[in-house]
Amino acid sequence: MNTQVILPPELNFTQLIHVIRQVNDELTAQASRAVNTSLALRNWLIGFYVEEYERQGVDRAEYGDKLMDRLAESLTHLGISRCDRREIYRYRQFYITYPQIVEAVTPQLQQLVGAAVLPGNDSLSDAAVQHIVETTPQCQIGGQSMISRLSFTHFVELLNLEDATQRTFYEIECIQGNWSVRELKRQIHSFYYQLFVSKYQLELPKREEIERFLAEKLKEAGVADE
């Protein structure tokens, strides 16, 4: 198969510099996105394994309340980065809060790690399944879209939001506005969601009104869960 790269007509030195810069910027950005996606997926899978071990690990009773401490110690000793006790708890919460990320676990990755992580609820913990039940399906962003558009640092900020509807609001705004982590933090701390609710005179108990709005936003963004 013949493949040709299209050259600008009458390529000059200035155009040469310009096109090299474009190639560099785009592929550097792609590499950065790939690293962010891999890191988020790594952390989600760690959370999956920890939750599953706590539920049905054959020797879990030997560790009891010391499990997270022992796990953090062992992983740190192996040189695995960012696996202290606090981070492991966060990874588990990441898995429970965003069960739809299971969509992003490729068959190749399943084969590599030997994980029975399959799209659908059968492979999810009770806590993750309960989160799906409590989240309005129309307001849930697809896992593949989410993990490809948000870094794990974004997720860290979002995990601090206990209200699922509020969290979804910021997820959508983050993706649509291409927010940096700094911008996300700024908007959360400036009570952007609460101001939105006040502006449209929606009371928090009227969740169905907010959820209808979010469902429309998801359609506009093209990231709705399938």
Distance CA 187, CA 161 (A): 13
pLDDT at residue 105, rounded to an integer: 84
Judged against a pLDDT cut of 60, whether residue 24 lies above it is answered with: yes
Average pLDDT for 43-69 = 90
Average pLDDT for 60-84 = 91
Predicted TM-score (pTM) of the model is: 0.78
Q: What is the pLDDT of residues 101-121, one digit of tens each?
A: 988 888 777 766 655 554 444
Cβ 200 vs Cβ 121: under 8 Å:
no
Distance CA 44, CA 102 (A): 9
Query: Which of these, 167, 52, 165, lies nearest to 102 by C-alpha position?
Result: 52
Residue with more model confidence, 209 or 155:
155
Q: Any idea what DSSP says for residue 118?
A: -
Average pLDDT for 125-145 = 59
pLDDT at residue 18, rounded to an integer: 81
Distance CA 213, CA 18 (A): 42
Q: What is the pLDDT of residues 147-201, one digit of tens each?
A: 999 999 999 999 999 988 899 999 999 998 999 999 999 999 999 998 888 776 6
